[in-house]
């Protein structure tokens, strides 16, 4: 599949009319309890396990390696490729991006993309699914809004037609096939570090450490980094671009979000494959995409226009 064939919709957002409103999706809420609860329990178990059996170099390697793969799958795959079509890829690379992102356990690719496109269409106003705007009245309004933007929104997803927000993905048979096997990819993301832990150490302890650190704790950590871009990235940080929303750059989050925390940069130029708009800004995902472009594994990459970036204009 070539992303360039997706209806010339690179960087386009859903129509900015009245947001679609429906009842809270009970199924999505139950799934949110699993999505949030299981990795949290796994992270606690990993800490307890380390206190009893130590934290080995293999544990760290599996945590770091799986985190790198799945964070790139989310930021480079689900976000820049599938959501914003900032570059093109053939079927093999498309599949790798989708599988790597799915192993992060943040939802199937169509759901993730639909939610993100809705966020861009209604950023920080009615219709934005995870804006950290103050909720209610009183001293805790800002805190309630911050929690909603971080993870609370997962329990309040409203039933709607996701195909309307991601029609290009729904029309693509390969993407829909990958989307269909989402649970399998999540289980693969748990099985891989477990198997590697056993192969690298030859022990059950190594396998359990791989499952806990390279699997569940890794999901927990990446979840909160991704959610922090939604919450902190619209609350604290600098705003070099005069966007119409509250998006902000949060430099301390950049390494952990593999470049996603240059959030104001992204909202100013959502169709770009790079969030690095200054020579000193580090964007690991953009670097990976550039390398893949040099190798001929991706194409039609949308790079920043230096003159436009320098002028700090808004798309």
Q: Is residue 280, in this structure, part of any structural domain at all?
A: no
Q: Tally the domains of the chain.
A: 1
Q: Is residue 253, in this structure, part of any structural domain at all?
A: no
Mean of pLDDT values over 23-41:
89
Q: Is residue 191, in this structure, part of any structural domain at all?
A: yes
Q: What is the pLDDT of residues 81-97, one digit of tens each?
A: 999 999 999 999 999 99
Q: Is residue 28, in this structure, part of any structural domain at all?
A: yes
Q: For the purposes of burial, counting CB atoms within 10 Å of the CB of 232, is it exposed (0-12), middle (13-18) or buried (19 or more)?
A: buried
User: Where in the sequence is the domain holding 33, given as residue range(s)?
Assistant: 3-7+24-240
Q: What is the pLDDT of residues 203-238, one digit of tens each?
A: 999 999 999 999 999 999 999 999 999 999 999 999
| pLDDT for residue 170 | 96
Mean model confidence pLDDT for the chain: 90
Q: Is residue 13, in this structure, part of any structural domain at all?
A: no
Mean of pLDDT values over 119-145:
92
More confident position, 10 or 276: 276
Confidence check: pLDDT of 245 > 90: yes
Residue 189's closest CA among 73, 13, 70?
70
| pLDDT for residue 205 | 98
**CA atoms lying within 13 Å on the CB side of residue 147:** 9
More confident position, 23 or 126: 126
Tokens of 216: 């569940």
Query: At 24, phi and psi to the nearest 5?
Result: -65, 130
Q: Is residue 263, in this structure, part of any structural domain at all?
A: no
Q: Is residue 106, in this structure, part of any structural domain at all?
A: yes
Q: How confident is the model at residue 161 (pLDDT cuts 50, 70, 90)?
A: confident
Q: Is residue 62, in this structure, part of any structural domain at all?
A: yes
Tokens of 230: 């939604």
Please give the C-alpha separations between residue 263 and each of 91, 270, 277, in angstroms, as whole numbers: 29, 9, 11
């Amino acid at each position: 599949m070539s992303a360039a064939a997706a209806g010339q919709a690179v960087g386009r957002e859903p129509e900015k009319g009245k947001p679609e409103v429906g009842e809270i999706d009970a199924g999505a809420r139950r799934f949110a309890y699993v999505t949030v609860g299981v990795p949290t329990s796994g992270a606690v178990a990993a800490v307890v396990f380390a206190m009893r059996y130590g934290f080995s170099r293999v544990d760290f390697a599996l945590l770091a390696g799986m985190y790198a793969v799945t964070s790139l799958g989310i930021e480079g795959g689900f976000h820049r490729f599938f959501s914003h079509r900032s570059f093109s890829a053939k079927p093999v690379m498309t599949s790798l991006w989708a599988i790597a992102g799915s192993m992060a356990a943040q939802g199937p690719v169509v759901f993730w993309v639909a939610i993100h496109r809705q966020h861009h269409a209604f950023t920080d106003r009615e219709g934005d699914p995870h804006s950290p705007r103050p909720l209610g009245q009183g001293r805790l309004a800002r805190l309630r809004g911050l929690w909603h933007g971080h993870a609370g929104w997962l329990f309040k997803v409203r039933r709607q037609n996701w195909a309307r927000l991601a029609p290009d993905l729904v029309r693509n048979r390969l993407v829909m096939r990958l989307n269909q096997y989402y649970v399998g990819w999540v289980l693969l993301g748990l099985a891989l570090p477990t198997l590697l832990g056993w192969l690298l150490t030859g022990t059950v302890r190594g396998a359990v450490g791989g499952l806990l650190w390279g699997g569940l704790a890794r999901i927990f950590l990446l979840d909160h980094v991704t959610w922090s871009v939604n919450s902190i990235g619209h609350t604290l940080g600098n705003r070099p671009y005069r966007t119409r929303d509250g998006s902000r750059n949060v430099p301390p989050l950049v390494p952990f979000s593999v470049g996603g925390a240059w959030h104001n940069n992204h909202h100013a130029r959502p169709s770009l494959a790079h969030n690095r708009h200054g020579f000193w800004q580090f964007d690991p995902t953009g670097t990976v995409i550039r390398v893949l472009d040099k190798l001929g594994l991706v194409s039609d990459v949308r790079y920043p226009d230096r003159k436009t970036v320098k002028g700090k204009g808004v798309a």
